[in-house]
Chains A and B, each alone.
Chain A
């Protein structure tokens, strides 16, 4: 029955195989009116969007995860899609079909017809079928599908979308009585009897149970046993094989009825085949992959850097200095101005400063995904990553992590297996991001002259090693389980559609800004408040940094860092670590402020007499200046070129002379290296924590925090204790015995079976038995 314009909003589910163009169609129909979230209790992305039709009616489109089948072998994505289509939550289902692979896609159509609900078939990529001379006979196909609506489209170019929107105006029909039988008569009769006795089960759940893909409910044991025996009796095959064979036969017959006969001489996608000869080549594939990743790094971080200072400086002018001025004028006390402007406003500024590199990363990734290359990159890397129990798709986030861990964690969505996705995300905080490079550069300028490059390289390698060890541990602990073989479809190469790429990137960016940003802003208010206020005269008041909560806390904390050679006099370095938990970029900045003893005064002066106009003009001018640097930095996307040159290192790190002198006075080469190891491994920054929390849930985010903190403390302490063993052998020995004991206890605890159940239930979103 048609729904009136004022009636309740209809819900339409989009279903289809991976790479059928389902998401492209979703983007084309809904544009920017989308919401991205997670399906309840799991980390699989849920996308829904509003579609306003020409009549003014509004539809809600739900983009279900891409699946080849709704019955078995497809993991979490499949469970979600099956539960949704069976729940009756959708008023109709639109299946998106790649017409170039009609027979394969019809296997899913068979399952959807089994549901018996309203179904509309969209034949996508008709342009490619036209080019191959393989246009289907739409009337023949409609007839074979019981008269349901079948529409040809090219989602990338928007062809056929007007007809689709028109079809969506009304409730579309179910398959009628003329639908040819989905199973041979003998099987159909058995299924009818079973259906009558198991009416409480969904049609797909009934098939799954009959095929041995789901447990038989105790009350139906006899019914299913009899049905299985009857199928073996009639067909001579197991029920699972006979039913699947019937679906394959139906798909083949239906495709043959709709498609013209294929000439053997007809070349199929020679453009794709020619490219694949190089891209999938066992030897050439790897360097090509590295080249593409290099381009990704350059594009994301060098191009992002052109706009990063503009975003940071202009938002600081408006949300920190401007807001501070307004609040001061309103008569608020200094410390609350510091909290609101410096903290919340500063948090907003930090979030916005991440926008350019993240936007470029997502744009580039979306283009790679749309072009068909990303699937091939995963295939190329799979043989290396398989040894870690990870699919080849895990490589891409790891490389992005060298620039920034936040987009890297969000890029783990390209990893389909939920266990592998959790592992890949938990590896990211160990990839040495560009913010940590700033700290390395400052220390290299003071302590490692002449061999700074080797030290920084060793730190990068240590980070990679820590990530690999983490993956190994997780595979032997709570995320144990059979490796899923990489089953990838390699779609033909296509030019990425601009609209689709921009929308895809925008969706991910919006998630970062709105959800991750909220956490950063709140943590920013807390952490950036600490250097400006202290416990003075029995109350919390604005004070200089020496008497601030940060200084008091950092002095108290130095005892924890004693095993790595850090004494109370180096409390500014500890304060840097505390603030660095918020964002690693500020480690050197906080040390600058402390060593100069003037940060607090400078901040309040900026609030009292802000030069917002001048700051905004200066922010705009950073764009052409960084644009000129872009070409110069093409060969050095990570900024290694500054290592070895003391002045350039210090300048690149943003460290001033007071900081360099302070570091030189307080550290030795060894304690400096131990400190850098700690910086590399300790807590993920607030943005990374927020991204982990969003992608994996709170438990894994807290696990990452505790695990990385413990790893950093034990490893940095051990390096220092081993290096100074001859000076205090008994103390060093005690430390090393303690580390060994902690490792052994951890290993015992880690391997307990209870953790596996916990991971299954809380992280992967299902019980161990399902």
Chain B
């Protein structure tokens, strides 16, 4: 089934992403993306992490740090200090 819900899941399985990045990757508007994220959060499949940028990674996970760097390297706008990213937790599921 080509559902936006599964497109969000597939995008998250490639690595942690912010709401804006997910919306771009899935072709959804940000509101529908947020609702899809709400579903996966309610199901306990994702965790919200905070990407603080390359200079201030004190409280963030390695995954978020990498995602932040990759985002900058790819020429995307640098993540703002408060921007949340979403990490898919259930990596084994195919």
Contact = CB atoms under 8 A, between A and B. Distances in A.
A337 interface: no
Contacts of A242: 1
A744 interface: no
Contacts of B43: 238, 240-241
B63 interface: no
Nearest to B45: A241
B42 to A, nearest CB: 5
Interface in B33-91: 34-36, 38-39, 42-43, 48, 80-82
A104 B35 CA distance: 8
B4 A248 contact: yes
A488 B3 CA distance: 24
Contact of B3 (A245, A383, A487): A245
A103 B1 contact: no
B31 interface: yes
A596 interface: no
Assign chain A's interface to a size class.
20 to 34
B2 interface: yes
B35 A241 contact: no
B31 A101 contact: yes
Given A103-B29, A107-B35, A241-B43, A235 B1 contact: yes
Q: Is the interface of A mostly helix, strand, loop or mixed?
A: helix
B29 A252 contact: no
Given A104-B35, A240-B43, A245 B29 contact: no
B3 A282 contact: no
Contacts of A383: 82
Given A103-B32, A104-B32, A104-B35, A245 B6 contact: yes
Contact of B31 (A73, A104, A485): A104
A707 interface: no
A240 B9 CA distance: 14
Given A103-B29, A249-B4, A383-B82, A72 B42 contact: yes
Given A487-B38, A489-B31, A184 B1 contact: yes
Interface in A204-263: 235, 238, 240-242, 244-246, 248-249, 251-252
A68 interface: yes
B34 to A, nearest CB: 8
B5 interface: yes
Interface string A246-287: 101101100000000000000000000000000000100000
Contact of B29 (A104, A238, A244, A248): A104
A68 B36 CA distance: 12
A419 B39 CA distance: 23
Nearest to A379: B82
Nearest to B33: A104
A107 B42 CA distance: 17
Given A244-B39, A248-B3, A248-B32, 17 more contacts: A68-B38, A101-B29, A103-B31, A107-B35, A184-B1, A238-B43, A245-B5, A245-B6, A248-B36, A249-B3, A249-B5, A252-B28, A282-B80, A282-B81, A282-B82, A383-B82, A487-B38
Interface of A: 68, 72-73, 101, 103-104, 107, 184, 235, 238, 240-242, 244-246, 248-249, 251-252, 282, 383, 485, 487, 489
Interface of B: 1-6, 28-29, 31-32, 34-36, 38-39, 42-43, 48, 80-82
8 contacts: A72-B42, A238-B43, A242-B1, A245-B6, A248-B35, A248-B36, A249-B5, A282-B81
